[in-house]
Structure 1
């Protein structure tokens, strides 16, 4: 998806760039930076600096110093591309790979050999960090890796109808249902308890 054609998603609440790291995969955490709320979507990326802060929190910061101009626009476009691909992969639909492939090609990473006395040779991937595409390359690569190697039987959306968050179920039992037990899981328990109480009250003879 071209940045110019990415759907505009605006915060319906005051800007609150607290990032939820609940997806257990960085590509899903990126998707989750937009949440669907009762009053509309809440986009936690509102500036280039927000995207830069999220990359740093996720351990994917490619650059040092101020984020390049235009990072927000390119990041939102990449996020929507990855969201569409996750939905397609989950449903078994054909994958529209061209935009993600463009993001991968634009990053320009390369392998570099280095030699350290006593440690010998090592090989590491180096990421240039001048353009927005280069800053976003690590998360684009993580998304590509998820699409290829991820078990999409374990990639799920939170079961709460009011929640839009995705997660990768890494629990031993593979029975995870909620983005977080402290959030949607607890709300479900409270709602179920109240429903039982109401049913019991209705069933009691008067």
Structure 2
């Protein structure tokens, strides 16, 4: 058992989704049989954003503690509800999510590239937690409106809660990860086949 005076190391969520919005959903996952939320404070959100290559340039000094955490969790659950609704083929209520999208403020920016070329980038305003999370909301909106939902799947392991976008060539991906859930299920199926029938 860790010493109470020592800080608990951050829990890193698995990176298996192949889509930014689904990676946010996967910040809640099963670890040692327990459902774990890897986002426990503003610093966890900032660390996760850096891990997905979304550096935060804004300053949260004027924000109350855990406002970024609250916004990230709110966005995550709004996305989860819409993904589940869309996956089930039901009509979605998008008003709450659209309010989040309305906070996004961005503009296009040209920057010099190699050999005299120009690169076109989108730059987001990052003054508030909602603005910091705006690219995630936009990514989710694109997935929800144009994504192939036959390829948006939840891991078939009965104890796993992870989502992924199946980008395999055959589109037969069943598990969040072959190394974890896939292997465990294949071993269990093999053992079941090897047991003698009574």
When normalised by structure 1's length, the TM-score is: 0.81
Q: In 1, distance between residues paired with 2:44 and 2:9? A: 10
User: Which sits farther off after the overlay, 71-80 or 27-36?
Assistant: 27-36
Task: Name 2:15's counterpart in structure 1.
Answer: 21
* Cα RMSD for the two superposed structures: 2.5
Matched, 1:129 2:126: yes
Q: In 2, distance between residues paired with 1:37 and 1:121? A: 45
Q: Is the 8 A contact 2:112 2:118 kept in 1?
A: yes
Q: In 1, distance between residues paired with 2:59 and 2:127? A: 11
- Give a deviation string over 1:52-102, Cα, whole Å, max 9, x none: 111111122242566854100010000000000000111111112112211
Matched, 1:193 2:187: no
Q: In 1, distance between residues paired with 2:17 and 2:189? A: 25
Match of 2:82 among 76, 81, 85: 85
Q: Is the 8 A contact 1:156 1:169 kept in 2?
A: yes
| Alignment length (residue pairs) | 188
Match of 1:145 among 123, 131, 142: 142
Q: In 1, distance between residues paired with 2:125 and 2:58? A: 11
Unaligned runs of 5+ in 1: 1-13
Q: In 2, distance between residues paired with 1:182 and 1:172? A: 19
User: Which sits farther off after the overlay, 34-43 or 19-28?
Assistant: 34-43
